[in-house]
């Protein structure tokens, strides 16, 4: 049974990818327990061992505990083929080295990449936690202290060491923290978990409405705003599905992506995902109309004018908001005039919970820009967000959306 005070911890570590580096110290045996503690909290753990660590505990033990192959060598073609070191560095949400010996601390501080573990530290931008473990005289030595201080300044979190009697008989600082304490230090690195357990579905980008095999009607949406929202929601622990119109953007980490072209495709994908969605965000600039007919051959140039009959597309977000159970629905309103009137009209007419109004008459924000500024209307209040990058704005909007959930 889960204890009440373990709930926040479970939320923080659930599905987090932790790379546990083990270097060669007597405390290495405690790392086996650390693997268990992290897994109990829902983390996915992979282990990297230095050559010296393998003198204290076998890779087989750690493999059996973690359920994954243990990585030991930078130059092992078989391991590289399964998951290369750069891939492993990218995989990690956090790297923890426990125990971190004086030697490994010195090598990391020096920027060395002479084995797999130090290479991963250089190659990964993930937060890093070091749990030092060594003889008390080695810990208090000026070189070690300089190395530790330099790494702390570079952003490494230093967990411990504790004081007490040591394996060598000395007494003083140098004992590795207990596995629970290291697990808690790791959990502290993961901040906002406001959307853990939620499925967020986001539409992004434009749609393309074809009228012959080579031409279509579309708009200037780049997808940037929707992709940043996907990244921000995922960062807060949500499972995120991004329904993307034709855009040229990489998929944010951990986000599932469903590529579509037309409003009709986006409508189908949205309705298929709506039953599992807790939150639906319609950031896509969906074409309101599509050509009544798609010619099978390219339309030839003829008269001075060309008329194309358009028919109305389904309103995707309004249809999602009609579902039972209904996800929390957040729309965008791209307006060039009477922002409040048009946006709140859409909030009510489409059955939404929030609407994010975008003044797209301002070229510096909105379509295809890096910045945005919006006003968010609920049925009871208004929140203004001044101009900032779409990445910053997405963080603020996701925080606001999370506060509106039950």
The binding site for CTP consists of: 282-284, 288, 298, 314-317, 332, 346, 350
Find the part of the chain contacting ligand PMT (CB under 6 A) among 69-77, 166-174, 208-216, 314-322: 314-322
Per the residue annotation, which of 96, 168, 258, 329 is the catalytic one?
Answer: 168
Q: Could you say whether residue 262 binds ligand PMT (CB under 6 A)?
A: no
Helix segments in 14-141, DSSP class H: 28-40, 59-66, 77-82, 85-91, 102-109, 116-123, 136-140
Based on its alpha-carbon atoms, the radius of gyration of the chain, rounded to whole angstroms, reads 27
Of 97 and 243, which has the nearer Cβ to ligand PMT? Answer: 243
Q: Could you say whether residue 23 binds ligand PMT (CB under 6 A)?
A: no
Of 79 and 240, which has the nearer Cβ to ligand PMT? Answer: 240
94-100/17-22 β-pairing: parallel
Q: Rounded to 5 degrees, what angle do the CA atoms 139, 140, 141 make?
A: 95
The 270-309 contact track toward ligand PMT, x by CB under 6 A, reads ------------xxxxx-x---------------------
Of 176 and 393, which has the nearer Cβ to ligand PMT? Answer: 393
**Sites for ligand PMT among residues 208-247 (CB under 6 A):** 221-225
Mapped onto helix, strand or coil, the DSSP state of residue 199 is strand
Mapped onto helix, strand or coil, the DSSP state of residue 290 is strand
Q: How far is CA 237 from CA 136, 200, 254, in A?
A: 39, 10, 10
Look at the chain and count its residues.
Answer: 406
Q: Is 96 a catalytic residue?
A: no
Least gap, CB of 400 to ligand PMT (angstroms) = 15
Binding test (CB under 6 A) with ligand PMT, winner from 144, 331, 376, 398:
331
Binding test (CB under 6 A) with ligand PMT, winner from 313, 353, 395, 398:
313
Q: Could you say whether residue 317 binds ligand PMT (CB under 6 A)?
A: yes
Distance CA 314, CA 203 (A): 15
Cβ(147)–Cβ(109) under 8 Å? yes
Q: Rounded to 5 degrees, what angle do the CA atoms 19, 24, 28 make?
A: 65
Binding test (CB under 6 A) with ligand PMT, winner from 49, 134, 346, 397:
346
Of 128 and 390, which has the nearer Cβ to ligand PMT? Answer: 390
Cβ(182)–Cβ(206) under 8 Å? no
**Sites for ligand PMT among residues 38-77 (CB under 6 A):** none
* Token reading at 332: 């965008």
Residue with tokens 């909007």: 397
Residues designated catalytic: 168
Q: Which residues of the chain form contacts with ligand PMT (CB under 6 A)? A: 203, 205, 221-225, 263, 282-286, 288, 313, 315-317, 331-334, 346, 358, 360, 366-368
């Amino acid at each position: 049974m889960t204890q009440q005070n373990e709930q926040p911890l479970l939320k923080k570590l659930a599905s987090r990818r932790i790379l546990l580096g083990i270097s060669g110290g007597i405390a290495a045996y405690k790392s086996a327990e650390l693997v268990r503690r992290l897994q109990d909290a829902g983390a996915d753990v992979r282990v990297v061992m230095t050559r010296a660590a393998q003198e204290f505990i076998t890779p087989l033990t750690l493999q059996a505990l973690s359920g994954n192959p243990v990585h030991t060598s930078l130059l092992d073609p078989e391991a590289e083929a399964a998951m290369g070191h750069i891939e492993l560095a990218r995989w990690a949400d956090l790297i923890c080295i426990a125990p971190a010996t004086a030697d490994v601390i010195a090598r990391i501080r020096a920027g060395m990449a002479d084995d797999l573990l130090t290479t991963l530290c250089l190659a990964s931008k993930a937060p890093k936690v070091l749990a030092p473990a060594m003889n008390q005289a080695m810990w208090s030595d000026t070189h070690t202290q300089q190395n530790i201080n330099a790494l702390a300044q570079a952003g490494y979190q230093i967990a411990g060491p504790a004081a007490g009697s040591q394996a060598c008989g000395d007494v003083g600082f140098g004992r590795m923290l207990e596995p629970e304490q290291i697990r808690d230090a790791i959990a502290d690195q993961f901040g906002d978990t406001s959307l853990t357990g939620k499925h967020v579905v986001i539409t992004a980008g434009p749609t393309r409405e074809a009228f012959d095999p080579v031409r279509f009607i579309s708009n200037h949406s780049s997808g940037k705003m929707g992709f940043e929202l996907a990244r921000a929601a995922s960062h807060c622990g949500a499972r995120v599905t991004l329904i993307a119109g034709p855009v040229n953007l990489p998929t944010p980490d951990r986000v599932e992506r469903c590529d579509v072209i037309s409003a009709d495709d986006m409508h189908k994908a949205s309705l298929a995902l709506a039953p599992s969605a807790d939150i639906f965000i319609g950031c896509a600039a969906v074409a309101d109309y599509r050509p009544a007919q798609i010619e099978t051959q390219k339309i030839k140039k003829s008269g001075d004018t060309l008329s194309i009959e358009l028919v109305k597309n389904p309103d995707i977000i309004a249809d999602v908001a009609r579902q039972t159970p209904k996800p929390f629905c957040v729309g965008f309103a791209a307006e060039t005039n009477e922002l409040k009137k048009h946006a709140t009209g859409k909030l009510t007419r489409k059955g939404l919970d929030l609407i994010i109004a975008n003044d797209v008459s301002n070229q510096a924000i909105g379509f295809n820009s890096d910045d945005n500024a919006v006003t968010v209307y609920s049925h009871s209040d208004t929140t203004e967000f001044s101009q900032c990058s779409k990445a910053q704005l997405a963080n603020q909007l996701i925080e606001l959306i999370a506060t509106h959930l039950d």
